[in-house]
Amino acid sequence: MIIKYSKAEILIESCLQTLSVGANLFMLVLGPATSVWLSWFVFFHTRVWWLVPLYFVWYIYDFESPKYGSHMSVRFRRLRLFKYLVSYFPISIRKTAELNPSENYLIANHPHGIISVGAFANFLTDANSFSKLFPGIRSYLCTLDLNFFWPIRREYLQLLGKNGFASVKSTVDGLSSATCSGAVSRSKESVGYLISRPGGGNAVVIVVGGAEEALESEPGAHRIILRERKGFVKVAIKYG
């Protein structure tokens, strides 16, 4: 059966895809500055000023949670918003092997790209049905602790299951400080926490090229920065 779409339907779909990309870019790129302005505005110019100190009490109390992926929301990862995101590029995931849900995994991702949109879509959202392709596996993407410093964006990333990996060069030799996104924070204790959990089912994803590889991004070319970033192999051997 051939399904035909009207020009209006195609236009609406295209607009929704573009808005989805724009919304995600806004949150990831402009979110920090917006959160600072919004906090200032609410505190000094609204009657609900008390929400700001209340949030920061929660912020301090919950400061360590990005290390462990404490607030992941399955419903949030399955929002239609992310379906439009993967359709825009498009982004897909191809399964070539089974993953045993009784084991934990450390996955090296390449290429980094400008802001790792492919890794974001496939491992932080369920837009490409990761949960159906790999039942029993929870994917975590590693990133800088700095990404969890900013209000609002911090909660956004945590709902997706993203954890911080602060300055990895100072903690796990060979890992780029900009490459690990989402399963751990600050030191190898974060990665180790997830890939050593009894019962298995955790897949920790590291974008090994880091910010240096992002600067090498060019259409039609895939360059990987790996020589000084083999620490993830050491971590895999230690916990594997």
Task: Specify if 170 maps to a domain.
Answer: no
Structural domains in the chain (count): 1
Q: Across the 240 residues of the chain, what is the mean pLDDT of every consecutive 10-residue run? A: 71 94 90 93 96 95 77 84 94 93 90 86 91 90 81 83 44 36 51 85 84 79 78 81
Residue 13 domain flag: yes
pLDDT digits (tens, 9 = 90+) for 191-203: 788 888 898 898 8
Question: Do the domain assignments include residue 106?
Answer: yes
CA–CA dist 206, 180 (Å, integer): 5
- Is 142 a domain residue? yes
Check residue 3 and give its pLDDT.
62
Q: For the chain, first and last CA: distance in Å?
A: 49
Its pTM surpasses 0.85: no
Task: Flag whether 40 is in a domain.
Answer: yes
Which of 61, 80, 74 has its CA nearest to residue 23? Answer: 80
- Is 171 within the bounds of a domain? no
Reading the block at residue 180, the tokens are: 């690990």
**Is residue 172, in this structure, part of any structural domain at all?**
no
pLDDT of residue 1: 52
* Contact residues for 165 (Cβ-Cβ < 8 A; gap 6+): 142, 143, 144, 145, 175, 177, 179, 180, 181, 182, 183, 184, 185, 186, 190, 191
Query: Would you give the distance in Å from CA 38 to the centre of its chain?
Result: 23
Eight-class DSSP state of 218: B
For residue 109, give its domain range: 1-165+177-217+224-239
In this predicted model, what pLDDT tens digit does every residue of 76-134 receive, in sequence order? 889 999 999 999 999 999 999 999 999 999 988 888 888 889 988 998 889 999 999 99
